[in-house]
Amino acid sequence: MIPANLLVIARSQSLARRLQDAVGADQVRAHWLPSTNLALGIGLVPAVVVVELPASGGERTLARLRRRFDAPLVVLLRSGQALPGGAYASLLRPLPISRLAQVVREILHENSPGILHAGGLSLDTQNRRLQVGNRFHELKPIGSQILALLMEAPGETLTREVLFRRVWNTEDGDSTRALDVHVSHLRRIIEDDPRHPRVIVTERGIGYRIEANSHP
């Protein structure tokens, strides 16, 4: 996986360093600049822009950044500062770096290609990364394929035979017990009570479906 570019506009370079460490160097590469003027001239395509809002001129600052970068803007505010329009997210500083890292991860997840949303879940099919509420899980390849097929057709029951054939590329329907094992594992990750699932529902004698309007 190629790390996403993260542009950090702040007085201190340490914010960029700590944020890259908190999100993970395998996920982002942080680029620091001390001012908006310098940022506007950089030859970079960021996935996310994090900016410390100046004491004055915040509206103009965000307007200039929006015109220059087609990326979500995360604004860091001081107490008493008014929030200008156009921010994807705003956070009051000082704040724990873990909180800022969580917001960046969520934005990257929501805006990545190959993202499926259904049943209160978000699945990054390229990286097999599942978001359940504020929790993230790395799925095994087969589990990710099964869940992706169900999420592509929320509310529709897919037969066990169809699921098995599309994931394992075989017509050996007698081996669909393996499918049940993987679904059981997914339920342990997703459901509040895996014994009484509300998201991945069994249609007895037929197969499984994702409840479109359900949430874990």
Q: Are 39 and 64 in contact (CB under 8 A)?
A: no
In this prediction, residue 175 carries a pLDDT of 62
User: What DSSP letter does each residue of 112-165 carry, written as one string?
Assistant: STTEEEETTEEEETTTTEEEETTEEEEPPHHHHHHHHHHHTSTTPPEEHHHHHH
Alpha helix ranges (H) inside the chain: 13-23, 36-40, 58-68, 97-111, 141-151, 160-168, 177-190
Instruction: Tell me the CATH number at 120.
Output: 1.10.10.10
Q: Residue holding tokens 């081996």?
A: 175
Question: Using one digit for the tens of pLDDT, what is the confidence trace for 93-149?
Answer: 889 999 999 999 989 877 777 788 888 888 888 888 898 887 889 999 999 999 999
- The Cα–Cα gap between 209 and 201 comes to 5
Question: Using one digit for the tens of pLDDT, what is the confidence trace for 77-95?
Answer: 988 888 778 889 999 988 9
In this prediction, residue 172 carries a pLDDT of 62
Task: Please tell me whether residues 135 and 202 are part of one structural domain.
Answer: yes
Cβ density class 186-199: b for 16+ within 10 Å, e for less:
bbebbbeeeeebbb
The DSSP letter of residue 51 is E
Please indicate, yes or no, if residue 168 is contained in any of the structural domains.
yes
Question: Using one digit for the tens of pLDDT, what is the confidence trace for 14-40?
Answer: 999 999 999 998 889 999 999 999 999
Task: Please tell me whether residues 40 and 97 are part of one structural domain.
Answer: yes
Residue after which a domain boundary falls, among 111, 136, 160: 111
Task: Please tell me whether residues 98 and 122 are part of one structural domain.
Answer: no
Q: Structural domain of residue 21, as residue ranges? A: 4-111
Instruction: Tell me the CATH number at 8.
Output: 3.40.50.2300
Task: Please tell me whether residues 72 and 139 are part of one structural domain.
Answer: no
Count structural domains, the chain.
2
pTM assigned to the model = 0.60
Q: Are 190 and 181 in contact (CB under 8 A)?
A: no
Task: Please tell me whether residues 68 and 25 are part of one structural domain.
Answer: yes
Please indicate, yes or no, if residue 186 is contained in any of the structural domains.
yes
The DSSP letter of residue 6 is E
